[in-house]
Chains A and B, each alone.
Chain A
């Protein structure tokens, strides 16, 4: 932003606040107004963005399904009768029955929990790893950066699916919870690199800013500069990357379950249902389409939410 624009923007704000020109005399300042914080400004922008509301509604819906699936369907997803194989919709089963005679809709609803859990926890773990690595590499630079950046390069060079297959194959007989956390672990360990790179580069940008020099000039320690001055300014892009990553982790979990190495029955997940639906696609398409649509909508919702938040939070767009 040029100086001229900055001045214009400031004057604009001053006008809105009821102050004209400078220096402002105390009596010309209107009634005390609530200061708008960066988050406040972001919220104001978000409120007017329909994409934000649509994606937020979908995310909330998915979260509610994951938390209390029985609110959305009265049927038991594990109540399967072969006599109902590929039967037409009836009662609560609005999308009919699948090959095993289970309620397609109920299974999709109950599958939300595993998908969201994997996505959210993997994104959280990813965020923690990426934050530590990106922060250290970006702030200290030099050999720390050289070593960590090469580690990122190496991890980035490992194909996600191949490594996941190798790692998860060994767990074929483990219990449900172990499998769930193994999937989260694998996704986090292999998936943190992009976020780490984003954080590293935004830390480097923030580090060069005068307010970091100013904090140093006033005698702040490294830890404080990193935590208070750099992190809040480097966080916005990381939140975006992680929101989008959450969507892609859900997709990755579905892929792994589809391949038979992710979650397994009795855990219900979209990936498994897509797999069985695929096999019997010619007899009935809905058992394939419904979980696929749930998956696609959830992933889309997270990616759109990430985009909307980025647009609102980016201080450079202010």
Chain B
């Protein structure tokens, strides 16, 4: 069942100092009264300084759980990290004490959430919330924290920041709330920013603004970013590499251009084909048939085989290993080469 522990990492060679952040063969399960759900089954990915990795997948594919495992904010129980490593600057976070992990949170790795309204405490003004971290972690005085909060709100382009410092979360619009959330996450100058579906709760025009803001901030502050999303459109302009997740595994891992040009996994191919196109009229939208698997009963062999148009007997019997394709990308499909050649046509 378990696949080879260390897989080749595609698209970029390991830098001399090692990767900034590396997830190695992570397994996470949820132990519930109904049974054990295997949510993460051997996820491996890495992030280097200054780059953006997009983790793509539908609901339940395990993309957010991986992020929570990195942050160490999984709800345990029911969640349980079965095996694997999360290396930050070469040290395994999973072997850290709770206090050591707390030091990493916010200061080294920070995260922004999908729904900014529920991620902001309704009973405190936003300025207080942005400044809280500074007062607690940096020992700043109230006045200094206030000043820095205004700077941060300016940084995320909240108009009239100084005037809005005393406003409460419910007095902000959705896009502005997400900006407040981003300001909070940036307060301690993290080196890695994990954005967990930062635009899902927003409407399309605001989505674009927030994505642009994140891309600008990443560049200006020289952070590395993990962008978790289920929206292929959001990813294209921002990410350097993409890891596609399905049923708790990474099924395809490639740089953005080659992945969009020629997906090498049938799932990615299906996803790309199901994007509505403005230049094609009068054609039914292509979809991926079936539903994502129940994580308590993951299908044998390749977990995607019940939905796959390329399915053969081998897919039912054998778990596909990551196939390294010519240009350094990987695809966990027995027929990766064929799929890529198909899509390149």
Contacts and interface: CB of A to CB of B under 8 A. Distances in A.
Interface of A: 3, 6-7, 9-11, 13-14, 17, 22-26, 29, 32, 34-38, 142, 209-211, 213-221, 224, 228-229, 232-233, 315, 318
A32 B163 contact: yes
Contacts of B107: 219
A37 B167 CA distance: 8
Contact of B159 (A25, A37, A209): A25
B181 interface: yes
A211 B118 contact: yes
Interface of A is mostly: helix
A240 B166 CA distance: 27
A7 B174 CA distance: 7
A136 B136 CA distance: 23
Nearest to A236: B123
Contacts of A209: 118
B187 A218 contact: yes
Interface of B: 71, 73, 77, 102-107, 110-111, 113, 115, 117-125, 132-133, 136-137, 157, 159-160, 163, 166-168, 170-176, 181, 184-185, 187-188, 201, 206, 209
Contacts of A6: 117, 174
A311 B166 CA distance: 24
Contact of A211 (B102, B111, B121, B160): B121
Contacts of A318: 122, 170
A36 B73 contact: no
A317 to B, nearest CB: 12
Nearest to A10: B173
A142 B78 CA distance: 11
Given A10-B174, A219-B105, A221-B102, A315 B122 contact: yes
A25 B249 CA distance: 45
B119 A214 contact: yes
B119 A211 contact: yes
Given A35-B171, A217-B106, 15 more contacts: A7-B173, A17-B171, A35-B166, A35-B168, A36-B171, A38-B123, A210-B119, A211-B118, A214-B181, A215-B121, A217-B111, A219-B133, A219-B188, A220-B132, A232-B123
A170 to B, nearest CB: 45
B174 A218 contact: no
A23 B102 contact: no
A101 to B, nearest CB: 56
Contact of A216 (B73, B160, B175): B73
A185 B104 CA distance: 47
Contact of B168 (A11, A37, A221, A232): A37
Nearest to B118: A210
A190 B102 CA distance: 40
